[in-house]
Copies of this chain bind each other. A is one copy, B any other.
């Protein structure tokens, strides 16, 4: 089965204490789609401007990502620039130029409307709604988000949560959304908002999944060097949905392993700027790290 991914397609200018990289391929949908592409046919929905470099189109194509849903419109591609602090955990946005994203109206090609697995990657909740409305009975829908939408589009997000199966957010967003410091208390409150599958991402500390069947405490792959964590969360959820969409059996039976695969792709993402490292890996490299995570967590 294939996975449909909607989100931002952007140019990212990323500054760290050690380097500066202008106008890399970025955006939640780009990271998630490349991550998913290691496991499943992936359909991208997004928008870019006429300035979008052809080499990035080629990069999508190299990963066999379906681009029928990628609109190329007059104007500029969404551009984000940000800077990381020394410890690579805190980042601040230097500039955001919405460009063609300002008026983005995601329209699904007919061939996309019957996708079973849908990832509403980080993007305005109103656009996530708009995509979902065009889908015909998807099997498993997961939404990601970011603190910005909690601040400026909370009502839209809360409406969305009633329509999705799974919701992914990071620990600080979970605390902001629920006003609970304790993760377990936060999970309980988030379930009450709608989603049956809630995943709280904790960066280098892994992630925690909560479902009716119980919890899963998922490890992160320990990295010796973090070059740029931009897109790691998107890679995690993209890899997870890609793996899920092709695994045999129920979502319940596969989601733990899917998170491990997502976590491994995210680890590769952190080892290069933007998508530089993720686009160089292979499925065997992913399998090797999954095996290593098995060894690292066995007791």
Contacts and interface: CB of A to CB of B under 8 A. Distances in A.
Contact of A214 (B88, B218, B296): B296
A145 B259 CA distance: 35
A86 interface: yes
* Prevailing SS type, chain A contact patch: mixed
A226 B185 CA distance: 11
A6 B53 CA distance: 65
Contacts of A297: 216-217, 219, 297
A41 B274 CA distance: 55
Contact of A182 (B182, B215, B226, B295): B226
A181 B222 contact: no
A222 B226 contact: no
A202 interface: yes
Given A86-B181, A182-B226, A214 B295 contact: yes
A185 B88 CA distance: 14
A183 B204 contact: yes
Contacts of A86: 181
Interface in A248-270: 256-257, 259-260
A208 B222 contact: yes
Interface in A196-248: 202, 204-206, 208, 214-219, 222-226
Tell me how many chains of this kind the complex includes.
2
Contact of A215 (B206, B222, B256): B222
A298 interface: yes
A153 interface: no
A219 B222 contact: no
B299 A256 contact: yes
A185 B222 contact: no
Contact of A225 (B88, B182, B298): B182
A217 B217 contact: no
A222 to B, nearest CB: 6
Given A205-B202, A260-B299, A223 B181 contact: no
Contacts of A205: 202, 205-206
Nearest to A295: B214
A103 interface: no
25 contacts: A86-B181, A87-B181, A182-B223, A182-B225, A184-B222, A184-B224, A185-B224, A185-B225, A205-B205, A205-B206, A208-B222, A215-B222, A216-B296, A216-B297, A216-B299, A217-B219, A217-B222, A217-B293, A217-B296, A218-B299, A219-B297, A256-B298, A256-B299, A257-B299, A297-B297
